Chains A and B, each alone.
Chain A
Amino acid sequence: MLSTSTQFFESDYQSRSSRFLQYLHIDPVLLTGLLLLMAAGLGVLYSASDGSVDIVQRQVIRLSIAFAVMFFVAQIPPHTLYLWAPWFFAFGIILLILVLLAGDVGKGAQRWLNLYVIRFQPSEMMKLVTPMMLAWYLCKKPFPPRVGSLFISLLLVIIPTMLIARQPDLGTSLLVAAAGFFVVFFGGIRWRILFGSLFTMLALIPVLWQFMHDYQKQRVLTLFDPESDPLGSGYHIIQSMIAIGSGGIYGKGWLNGTQSQLDFIPERTTDFIFAVFAEEFGIMGAIVLLSLYAFIIIRGLYIAVNAQDSFGRLLAGSLSMTFFVYLFVNVGMVSGILPVVGVPLPLVSYGGTSMVTLMAGFGILMSISTNRRLITR
């Protein structure tokens, strides 16, 4: 039903430049949001790194690579992704098992697979592949999904989630689970099944607690009472909250945050970069930044609504919401309302792997956006 010609037909009343972007499979609105966010991110990073041009440069290189990846992924039609999804998923699961068996240890956890050419985190890939797989599975099933397909879906989410949690990497497994959950959510799971399972999960929290590592338990406990260990694991949260709180309404000004400039904020170029931002730009800056994120997320959901088919809808919706989970978990942990799990502030935190995955995700969104069908409107 879909052909390239219909796309060009649709573009007839569009401007030349937007037709050109359409041809490149770039969504101009999403692109604008991403570019603004990245620019803001580089500014904060410059301050957080004590004005290190070197770090900013490296981040620019990473962003460029991530952009290239986005651009490349945007060229892949959703249908191709649909066809590849099960293969990707199977491949990803095998890699995850390999990591557990023979992975490199970094920072006390096995996350890396050494491919001799590049070191590679299969768990990152699963953030995209898991929702793809679920969308692939659910879009073929009768609507709304029956209990049997929901059970299969649950398995498809739980297997990669557990494998990643075993590494252990709580942050990534959380994001993978969230991505899977949103596919099921958008896939039309009945409300009563949804709420029923949510309550069951709440009831299962004590069981989950048993399976958590000591350091993970400690992080959760620290959240409820950071003062209990002010020099140990509570130190991060306390210093981060001091930074945010002391920023006040308008902030201390760019490069003038004393908490950040004098090293009091831990991990301030990576996971805690939001504290630097909130200290230097105050709550006004935070409102602007969160609005920018909200803009990107809503644009993502808009793309999902206008997707050409069920697979694209589910995938685009899930990817947008996963981006939101990133944001919420990061800001929540930095401001002391969620436990410290290693989730970066998307597209702002310094660091490569998650950046590439995120931008690949936006590449998928752009592909879905620029391959949409006219007839359904």
Chain B
Amino acid sequence: MPYQSHYSDHSYQASLFKFRVIVAVLICLLMLSGLLFRLAWLQIVDYKHFADLSENNRIRLMELPPTRGLIHDRNGVVLAENKPTFHLEIIPEQVDDMDATLTGLREIVTISDSEIERFKDQLRVRRSFQRISLRTRLNEEEVAKLAVNRHRFPGMDINARLSRYYPQGKAAAHAVGYVGRINRKELTVIDEGNYRGTSHIGKTGLEKYYEAELHGMVGRQKVEVNAQGRVLRAIDKVAPIAGNDLVLNLDIELQKIAEEMLGDFAGSVIAIEPHNGAVVVFVSKPGFDPNLFVHGISHKDYNALSHGVYKPLFNRAIFGQYPPGSTFKPFLALAGIEQRRFGVRESLHCKGHYLLPGDDTERKYRDWKKEGHGMVDLSKAIEQSCDVYFYELAYRMGIDSMHDFLAQFGFGAKTGIDLLGERRGLLPSRAWKKEKKRTVWYPGETLIAGIGQGYMLATPVQLAVATAALASRGEKIVPRLLKEIHVSGEDTVRSRDPSKTMIKLRRDSHWDVMFEAMKKVVHGTWGTARATGWGMKFKMAGKTGTAQVFGIAQDEEYDEETVAKKLRDHGLFIGFGPAEDPILAVAVVAENGEHGSKMAPIARQIIQRYMEKYSSASSK
């Protein structure tokens, strides 16, 4: 046989071959041990790691978002609720002919080209068993039409989701606020776990302040999925806990009355129950429709709201800082008699202007009444709002005494109302000026402060709180929009006790003095708001105020008519009633409202309606 020609080598060759085979077997065994070592590494050493990864692959957590709590007014009228909105969705894998389905559906409901385009984009990237939204927010008619035709379109589904709805529209929009889609900044602050599955969050107002109460607890469902992400079965489930319902102190009827009576003025009306701080009316005008924000507001609408002439989104009640003007006088007069700078019945002569003693420049500080008020005591000074009286009072007191006494009424400090971002206003003092303006305090500035002008600034809520403190004879309360919280799923109601600090006067009778003087503002022969007092069914104590507008910021552009209007004085009014036993304190600020006396009817109307509704169940 030819291949046996080297037979002589044969045994040598065979033994060498045997040796090579032994080497080969050894190499095989060595490499197999290498494989086993690798497997042991994966399966024993790193077992925990891979077991976790495998479990994470398989188990997916699905979040079940909770239903947001409702917001009611004090009588149970719904201010914020969740309404089902209907969406048209397609499950691609169940559709036989996608193009035919889309054309067919377009014959039934309007679907824009951009919606079709977005749908097709989604169709490419999503898995075929995942639902894709084709049209959002169907109206009832569209839902009905689609439901009738459902059999024609396999794979089509109408899905109801809850979305926030504010049935009162503009009314109380600044108090209630609104929800909107969670943005990137909010993502960094919220408890991410609890917000999985939640798309909206409180953006302003109570919706934001009480977000933690309203939101509820997310539910979770463990599901097993395959590699494509299709859910195969649910493993276990923790149901979500709905958010808590809020009941407010607001009375939506009074709220609407106030909003209507403020008319076209931009401004604010606040009404507070003086003994417990319940905020019954919380108006900031102009208002806006919070429903615009729920589904994402258009650029045009947003610009109109945030940059419009009167900036409707600006919550004037807590952000607006106004010179309080003459509404400041009752507090200052109280300071005068308390600190014995003025006797209760002490008079001075008002000749229409005031000269600062020791001032060589002979600058005249004018009274609003050129010819003067003649002899003026405290009561008359309040009734007729005599400026000269208060120049003298301020001169006698000095700015720091004024600051210390008025601070007790909450000026220059946050009221603590349950809204975020409240401004503190400004109650000037020497120390303040030195720190902020780096100059000394001039005596003339004290006189200007005496009539609530100059550096003095107060928010409408601060004015209302100070008025309430007056009305309750010294109970300075923390104003609250929230009355109580109805805990979801339980029959329990949570509420906080009113929080207040007492203002102690040297003599309690000083309150009566002020009540009487303020009553004359409305009911006296020469009272600045006497027009309002005519034919009133109850006695109201009040004080008008007119604050000068000094100018318009240069970057603001207005047409001539608007400029003229914008330069008009602000009209303010504070009041409470009934004077014998006040149950409601009101502060009104109307930008460019010209005179406070025009605002008194708003306070009268609110207090009167409040008394009609609640006088038997007075809140004490």
Contacts and interface: CB of A to CB of B under 8 A. Distances in A.
Interface of A: 1, 79, 82, 136, 139-140, 142-144, 182, 185-186, 188, 239, 241-249, 258-259, 262-264, 278, 282-283, 286-287, 290, 293-294, 297-298, 301, 304-305, 309-311, 313, 317, 321, 324, 328, 331-332, 335-337, 376
A258 B2 contact: no
A82 B16 CA distance: 22
B1 interface: yes
17 contacts: A143-B6, A143-B13, A239-B227, A242-B57, A247-B43, A249-B44, A258-B55, A262-B224, A264-B57, A283-B40, A283-B43, A294-B28, A301-B24, A305-B21, A310-B10, A335-B39, A336-B38
Contacts of A264: 54, 57-58, 226-227
Contact of B21 (A79, A186, A287): A186
B36 interface: yes
B35 A310 contact: no
Nearest to B228: A263
Interface of B: 1-6, 9-10, 12-14, 16-18, 20-21, 24-25, 28-29, 31-32, 35-36, 38-40, 42-44, 46-47, 49-51, 53-55, 57-58, 224-228, 232
A305 B18 contact: yes
Contact of B50 (A186, A241, A337): A241
A143 to B, nearest CB: 4
B39 A286 contact: yes
A182 B21 CA distance: 10
A69 to B, nearest CB: 26
**Across chains A and B, which 10 residue pairs bring their CB atoms closest together, nearest first?**
A245-B50, A246-B54, A263-B227, A245-B42, A262-B226, A143-B9, A283-B43, A246-B50, A264-B227, A246-B51
Contacts of B10: 310, 376
Contacts of A304: 17, 21
Contacts of A247: 43
A282 B13 contact: no
A326 to B, nearest CB: 12
Given A1-B1, A242-B54, A294-B29, A305 B17 contact: yes
Contacts of A301: 21, 24-25
Contacts of B16: 144, 188
Given A262-B232, A283-B39, A297-B28, A246 B53 contact: yes
Contacts of B5: 140
A262 B13 contact: no
Contacts of B24: 182, 185-186, 301, 317, 321
A191 to B, nearest CB: 10
Nearest to A301: B21
A144 B4 CA distance: 15
Given A142-B9, A259-B54, A245 B32 contact: no
A136 B2 CA distance: 11
A188 B40 CA distance: 36
Contacts of A242: 50, 53-54, 57
Contacts of B226: 262-264
